[in-house]
Chains A and B, each alone.
Chain A
């Protein structure tokens, strides 16, 4: 391992190493970041949710968008899989259905970056979804 010979060396090293812990740092304050939840139950995985998840992580990483992408269980929209739920800071979550890589790009370009709405939103009333679960 190379020696740290100056403060500039250390700073360069830190920048390179940052990715090691950035995921943990982000997860400490999720409300300030874009949160994406990918439905990864059996139906989701079968319909390609995993590829979409990987694609979104890589794409947002490339565009330096601070986001947390997590997988979640079945959201109850098996007919529209793969589904993803996007929560922008200070907004209500929005669910998109039938998301493939192309759709994912569109969601990133339009909704996540510019806050414009995109086709394919599944109208949900969050209260009822939660209530149904509890029954």
Chain B
């Protein structure tokens, strides 16, 4: 085997591949051969580094130089400068948005400083299509240990003691769930991995499956041994083609090595995994709907209990866990419960992966210890608000969560604290908003999503959310009344209390939390007919100030709907009936005569 002196890790995640990541790999290979370095330098396709916005990302090992926004054409320079002459390619280094300095090593980037990678430990580190690299990183050793050294009860005890809770949203203690499934007697039991990931903007699970598929397979097999199941099913949305193809490769390799299949590690334990595809409906992420969908029925939820652990797929005990939950399992088995529970807060142990998005400088995938504050995430890791604007709110928990504000910035993030503030952990979406975002519109955005995604089985969710949406729409049109505000709150509470499944039970949260934290803003829409953020088009007017207007006619010429009238060298006038609020005249006027009111 060739002994490589340099590894070039090229991100092969969905984000970076979309911007020619694959061509970079090809070109690097070519140039390396031209320089006869093929026995010294290895090019490796890895999973996501989390820094997708600045992708494609290329990391040089062993000096850890981190190149961003690399193009296929840069391959020549990377090889001739970095590898041959030992000089960093300055222009490809990341520039710190605050100091404007170039940062060469990933460990010096604010984005990575406060992160601890457990679930993402192999993402951006190994080639996910090569089982050998996973094994070199202690892969399948946890499965081996559990099968040969621990009884199911002992292994479950490790998971219980670690304090791991479900990362799919609910936060149910994982070990406890396994124990419940184990105790139910049945001929056949199932282990299911929930890879539906329906939150808008979330891509934590996708990245784990793309970057470290074997970790999930290994954890499912461990779960099978602990609960007494021999069949594993991964429910994954069909829109994740790369994750699906990496999973297929991983399953085949694991079977070839005898790490899935019959008589694993010669212990007599058998376990195999199959894929099931979802069509990408949010409600199918709810575990009972997910199971119905796998059975070929409509993806609609049913009342719990019975919980899937008692009666799930084909009426058999079924242990459902989320992708990220599984990704934590092998490390916990190897490092021990004590190690894991030393990270995090009292009731939330370990780390959480978040998809950081919105108006922050560094958007991407991050993993932080539980108990990290929102301020650290947004300002240290996220690098602060874009364009020097002011922070306004952060939305966590997706369509089931809520908006937190300035006053919540120093609260340590964990399941219980987020719930207490009227939001929730959810699966890990985190969207940052600045002064230009209108909170009524944000609530409306999520309700629009919920209305689309409600399965329609129960009335409160099907009809109630539609009414909520209509009321919010009325507010953004400036036609809302005080009565609407009361109604909005009451209806929200009714929907929460009476809906059948988690979708309806949580869908009013974005409304309630914005009403609670931004009461002034709702009031302004109703009482003054104003949108303080200047987002609601119906509530703003473009007006020309006669004193400042010199009559240059520029605005009337750019107006797409001929809303501006006036003679040359005379003050102009905007007809509010005709104006579509495109803002074109506002941008064009050189004299600042047009204002937004």
Contacts and interface: CB of A to CB of B under 8 A. Distances in A.
A5 B256 CA distance: 12
A11 B5 CA distance: 25
Interface stretch (A12-20, A100-108, A124-132): A12-20
A14 B64 CA distance: 24
A20 B138 contact: no
Nearest to A39: B86
B583 interface: no
B584 interface: no
Interface in B74-88: 83-88
Interface residues of B, number: 38
Interface string B128-154: 000011011111110011011000000
A4 B135 CA distance: 11
Interface in B180-233: none
Interface string B239-274: 000000000000000001111000001100000000
Contacts of B141: 7, 10-11, 14
Nearest to A75: B86
Nearest to A31: B107
Interface in B1-55: 1, 3-5, 7, 9
Given A27-B63, A41-B85, A57 B5 contact: yes
B62 A68 contact: yes
A19 B86 contact: no
Contacts of A68: 62-63
Contacts of B92: none
Q: Of residues B83, B126, B136, B256, which shows the largest number of chain A Cβ atoms within 10 Å of its Cβ?
A: B136
Given A26-B62, A27-B64, A68-B62, A10 B86 contact: no
A21 interface: yes
B64 A5 contact: no
Contacts of A21: 125-126, 133, 136-137
Contacts of B126: 21
A47 to B, nearest CB: 14
Interface string A57-71: 100010000001111
Contact of A19 (B3, B61, B137, B138): B3
B140 A4 contact: yes
Greatest chain A CB density within 10 A among B88, B107, B138, B144 is at: B144
Highest count of chain B CB atoms <10 Å: which of A11, A20, A22: A20
Given A5-B266, A17-B135, A70 B63 contact: yes
A3 B86 contact: no
B136 A20 contact: yes
B258 A18 contact: no
Contact of A71 (B4, B86, B135): B86
Given A23-B7, A41-B86, A70-B86, A17 B136 contact: yes
A6 to B, nearest CB: 5
Contacts of B5: 23, 53-54, 57, 69
A30 interface: yes
A45 B265 CA distance: 50
Contacts of A99: none
Which of B62, B135, B138, B266 has the most C-beta atoms of chain A within 10 angstroms of its own C-beta?
B62
Contact of B136 (A7, A14, A53, A70): A14
B510 to A, nearest CB: 39
B6 to A, nearest CB: 8
B31 to A, nearest CB: 17
Contacts of B4: 23
A30 B64 contact: yes
Interface in A42-61: 42, 45, 53-54, 57, 61
A89 interface: no
Given A19-B1, A70-B86, A5 B132 contact: no
A23 B4 CA distance: 9
Nearest to B84: A40
Contacts of B107: 28
A120 interface: no
Given A7-B148, A40-B85, A71-B86, A17 B63 contact: no
A24 B9 contact: yes
A24 B59 CA distance: 10
A73 interface: yes
Interface string A66-86: 001111110000000000000
Contacts of B9: 24
Contact of B61 (A6, A10, A23): A23
Nearest to B83: A71
B333 to A, nearest CB: 13
Among B85, B87, B107, the most chain A Cβ lie within 10 Å of the Cβ of B85
Contact of B135 (A6, A13, A41, A69): A13
A73 B86 contact: yes
A78 B337 CA distance: 55
Interface string B97-128: 00000000001000000000000000001100
Given A4-B265, A70-B86, A10 B135 contact: yes
A24 B587 CA distance: 51
B266 A23 contact: no
Nearest to B62: A27
Nearest to B148: A7
Contacts of A72: 86-87
A1 interface: yes
A22 B265 CA distance: 25
A24 B266 CA distance: 32
Given A68-B63, A71-B83, A73-B88, 7 more contacts: A6-B265, A13-B132, A41-B86, A57-B5, A61-B3, A71-B85, A71-B86
5 contacts: A7-B147, A17-B133, A21-B125, A26-B62, A38-B86
Closest 10 CB pairs of A and B: A71-B86, A3-B258, A7-B144, A27-B62, A17-B136, A40-B86, A73-B87, A70-B63, A68-B62, A21-B136
